[in-house]
Amino acid sequence: MTRVDAQLATNSLTLTFQLNQPDLLQFIVGRTNDQVVLMTEAECRAAAVRIADYVQSRVRFNLDTNAPVRGTLSNWPPAPLVLTTEERPGEVRPAPLPLTLRWEVPATAKQLELSLSLYDAFGFAALFEVLFHRGKDVAPVLQLVASRQSMVIDLDAFQEDTRATEASPRLPGADKLEPSHLRGTTATQFIELGFTHILPKGLDHILFVLGLFLLSPKLKPLLWQVTAFTLAHSITLALAVLGIFALPGRVVEPIIALSIAVVAIENLFRSEVSPWRWAAVFGFGLIHGMGFAGVLSEVGLPRDQIGTALLSFNFGVELGQLAVITLAFGVTKWCQGRSWYGPWVRRPACCLIALAGLVWTVERLLAS
């Protein structure tokens, strides 16, 4: 989620971005999120000066006059360039980077089109909260815009709304962007984010699902386990996102790693689902849900579409889990009925998954 303050005057449009520093650096320096987190302050400062060129090339502004329009840049780089902020004692986060672009709007223009394409990559739920400020006596209007989505503004309607004494409930030209279109865009973005959090990014969640799969090749017990896991993580995902209940990441992440090891180790001693297994899967699902909530807290949720975003993300997670199970069935189907499947495929796989879970548990405990 990127906050954008927009000032629309009779002869200009000014956008002030509060840019998400880690996400931008991934695109600019061509590194993964994990690599960006490990960048030194000197590396971040060296790359930050390239952000302005990147943003200018990705924010597209067009007028119906067909006259060439170029945005002018101001306050960049900010002095001082603040790279981190400490919101709570001991919790250091990347600071949002302010950047302002301004365009002249000729008096002859009747319509302008704006698109924000900062994040054109699979797995990025790139949403922009654009807050339009339209004068001292006119209340600002919040508009949710997705990356790659064009926003059309009727300038004649803007002139009429600005002269009005009461705030207009709609963005000028909002009839060009129907609410249903915005809901569909939000759903698509968050389904994509949920799916990619499992495949290919969520190796720990992938191993947990594979641990459920390896207990028994029978479809019915597997579906019951997945159902229990889904119900549990849906509950805590909603509770954490809505701010009702959550645990800190230093507690959640080691338990997620431990759950992988526990499920895999149990597979070495059982071949059927036990009552304890149901309870364990449900309990670990509650913890995994808080892990999923951590992803949404980093992205941010649109305030007026929290329900749509939450359900869509959860649906994307389920699609990712089903994709993992489908791939596992496809890979092992030909050998599941053979005598050597258990000792040479299932047991070694469970041992490797258990080892990975234990190693991650120790690493995450030490890191916290």
Residue pLDDT, tens place only, 267-294: 999 878 788 888 899 999 999 998 888 7
The residues with which 127 forms a beta bridge, in sequence order, are: 146
User: 262 and 162 in one domain?
Assistant: no
Provide the mean pLDDT of the chain. 79
d(CA 46, CA 172): 40
DSSP 76-96: -S-SS---EEEEETTEEEEPP
Residues 140 and 221 in one domain: no
Q: Are residues 144 and 251 in the same domain?
A: no
Confidence band of 86 (pLDDT split at 50, 70, 90): low
* Band (352; pLDDT cuts 50, 70, 90): very high
State residue 27's pLDDT score: 79
The verdict on 194 and 138 lying in the same domain is: no
Domain count for the chain, please give it: 2
Last residue of a domain, one of 154, 177, 200: 177
Choosing from 138, 155, 177, the residue where a domain stops is: 177
Q: How many beta carbons lie within 10 A of that of residue 155, not counting itself?
A: 20
Is the pLDDT assigned to residue 83 strictly greater than 70? no
Give the C-alpha distances (Å, rounded to integers) separating 326 from 214, 217, 284. Answer: 13, 12, 22
Residues 29 and 95 in one domain: yes
Of the listed ranges 10-19, 170-179, 230-239, the one predicted with least confidence: 170-179
Q: Residues 231-252: what's their mean pLDDT?
A: 86
31 with 55, same domain? Answer: yes
Residues 164 and 292 in one domain: no
pLDDT at 347 over 60: yes
> First CA to last CA across the chain, in angstroms?
27
Burial of 106 (0-12, 13-18, 19+ CB in 10 A): exposed
Listed residues 177, 198, 216: the one ending a domain: 177
Distance CA 301, CA 310 (A): 8
Q: Above 70 in pLDDT, residue 328? A: yes
173 falls within a domain:
yes
Is residue 332 included in any domain, yes or no? yes
pTM (2 decimals)? Answer: 0.61
195 & 129 share domain: no
Is the Cα torsion angle 178, 181, 185, 191 positive or negative in sign? positive
**Residue 230 in domain:** yes
Query: Does 296 share its domain with 331?
Result: yes
Residue 169: the pLDDT is: 41
Give the HSE-up count for residue 333: Cα atoms under 13 Å, Cβ half-sphere: 8
Count of CB atoms situated within 10 Å of the CB of 46: 12
Are 233 and 302 in contact, with CB atoms under 8 Å apart?
Answer: no
Same domain, 135 and 221: no
Segment among 51-55, 79-83, 246-250, 336-340 with least mean pLDDT: 79-83
What range defines the domain where residue 14 resides? Answer: 2-177
Strand 127-133 and strand 2-8: pairing? Answer: parallel
Helix crossing, 21-29 with 41-48: angle to 10°?
80
Residue 182 lies in a domain: no
Q: How confident is the model at residue 214 (pLDDT cuts 50, 70, 90)?
A: very high
Task: Kindly tell me if the per-residue pLDDT of 41 is higher than 80.
Answer: no
Q: Between 35 and 361, name the one with better pLDDT.
A: 361
Cα separation, 5 vs 319, whole angstroms: 35
Residue found by looking up tokens 């968050």 in the block:
190
Confirm whether 141 is domain-assigned.
yes
Pick left, alpha or beta for residue 85 (phi over 0 → left; psi -120 to 50 → alpha; otherwise beta).
Answer: beta
Question: Which residues are 17's β-sheet partners?
Answer: 4, 99
In the prediction, which pLDDT does 170 show? 43
Is the residue at 103 inside a domain? yes
Q: Has residue 180 got a pLDDT over 50?
A: no
What pLDDT score does 264 carry? 94
* Same domain as 149, residue 218: no
206 with 309, same domain? yes
Angle, CA of 348, 354 and 358, to the nearest 5°: 145
Q: What is the pLDDT of residue 285?
A: 93
Structure tokens at 176: 């060009």
- Are 168 and 141 within 8 A, CB to CB? yes
